[in-house]
Structure 1
Amino acid sequence: MTTPNGGEIVYTSSNDSATTVSASGLITAIASGNSTINITIKNTTISKTVNIDVSS
């Protein structure tokens, strides 16, 4: 995924056993647990984190 200026957006999950995140930013709950989704734009200092708690 890219920004309007062509910067590549990268999504990662800190706990793939609780949540996964696709290259387009779609978050999927897998099992109970906590994770942090990190969103960054490559080659910049722009980033955001989102904390997610999954409960069953």
Structure 2
Amino acid sequence: MSLAMIATLIETIISDAPTLINVVEKLIPIFKENRAPTDAEWSEINDLVDATHKKLQGE
């Protein structure tokens, strides 16, 4: 992986910190309640992660 690709990767991750925070905020209550995520929670989390992945892939 070239230095330019690494820089782009880091930039994308840093610029998407709000999404990371959002995902963590969704996961905290699930862990605190010691339960599995509901289908709706999984869907929300997957949608957030998928959107970030698309940005990272340049789509």
TM normalised by structure 1 equals: 0.25
Compare relative contact order (CA 8 Å, sep 6+) and give the higher one, 1 or 2: 2
- Normalized per residue, the structure richer in helix is 2
- Normalized per residue, the structure richer in strand is 1
TM normalised by structure 2 equals: 0.24
Q: Report which of the two structures shows the higher radius of gyration computed on alpha carbons.
A: 2
